[in-house]
């Protein structure tokens, strides 16, 4: 959790905070998506987290990707900016957020998969038809759009 968010939590407790997230959907050369099994809610999610004060969003996305997966992003492509009721989330500890998630796609990366022990139970690539369940609630809208986009591309190619 970001220092900024932790400081705010000391003041507001569990009340809803507006949180800006920077996230990365990693795709391998076969078009599979990298997901992590989160240790806090035991759901699958992509890499991402809160943007720190004065941090550039793209740098936050790269930082979160490295911290959670061990992968280094060489280039990122903006996938979308997501917000709304579907991204309102209550963490297992009771902290509540209304998230604006700035999500990138990364196909150009290096490094070896190494999970962040404090947050991640498992890292695994999944193909379009094998997305695991359950997906972490604030990631569902984004992953649904990713699946939709991949199916459109697949249909155009067939």
Q: Which residues pair with 42 in a beta bridge?
A: none
What pLDDT score does 4 carry?
Answer: 87
- pLDDT at residue 9 greater than cutoff 90: yes
**Cβ pair 50, 1 in contact under 8 A:** yes
What pLDDT score does 157 carry?
Answer: 86
Sign of the four-CA dihedral 9, 11, 12, 13: positive
Calculate mean pLDDT across residues 22-46. 97
In this prediction, residue 158 has a pLDDT band, given cuts at 50, 70 and 90, of confident
Classify residue 153 by its DSSP letter. Answer: H
**Cβ pair 144, 135 in contact under 8 A:** no
Cα distance between residue 81 and residue 92, in whole Å? 25
Pair of tokens at residue 100: 């604006």
What pLDDT score does 134 carry?
Answer: 98
Classify residue 52 by its DSSP letter. Answer: P
Cα distance between residue 48 and residue 82, in whole Å? 13
Domains of the chain are: 3-157 (3.90.79.10)
pLDDT digits (tens, 9 = 90+) for 39-64: 999 999 999 999 999 999 999 999 99
pTM (global) more than 0.85: yes
- CA-based nearest residue to 143, from 101, 97, 114, 98: 101
Cα distance between residue 39 and residue 34, in whole Å? 16
- Three-class DSSP category at 26: strand
Cα distance between residue 115 and residue 52, in whole Å? 21
pLDDT digits (tens, 9 = 90+) for 66-102: 999 999 999 999 999 999 999 999 999 999 999 999 9
As a whole number of Å, the end-to-end CA separation of the chain is 43
pLDDT digits (tens, 9 = 90+) for 104-116: 999 999 999 999 9
Cα distance between residue 121 and residue 116, in whole Å? 8
């Amino acid at each position: 959790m970001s220092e900024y968010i932790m400081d705010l939590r000391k003041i507001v407790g569990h009340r809803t905070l507006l949180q800006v997230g920077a996230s990365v959907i990693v795709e391998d050369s076969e078009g599979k998506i990298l997901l992590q099994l989160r240790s806090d809610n035991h759901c699958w999610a992509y890499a991402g987290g809160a943007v720190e004060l004065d941090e550039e969003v793209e740098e936050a996305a790269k930082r979160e990707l490295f911290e959670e997966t061990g992968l280094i992003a060489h280039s990122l492509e903006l996938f979308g900016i997501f917000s709304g009721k579907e991204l309102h989330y209550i963490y297992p500890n009771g902290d509540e957020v209304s998230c604006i998630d700035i999500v990138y796609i990364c196909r150009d990366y290096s490094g070896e998969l190494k999970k962040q022990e404090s947050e991640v139970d498992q890292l695994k690539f999944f193909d379009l038809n094998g997305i695991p369940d359950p997906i972490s609630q604030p990631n569902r809208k984004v992953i649904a759009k990713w699946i939709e986009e991949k199916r459109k591309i697949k249909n155009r190619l067939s």
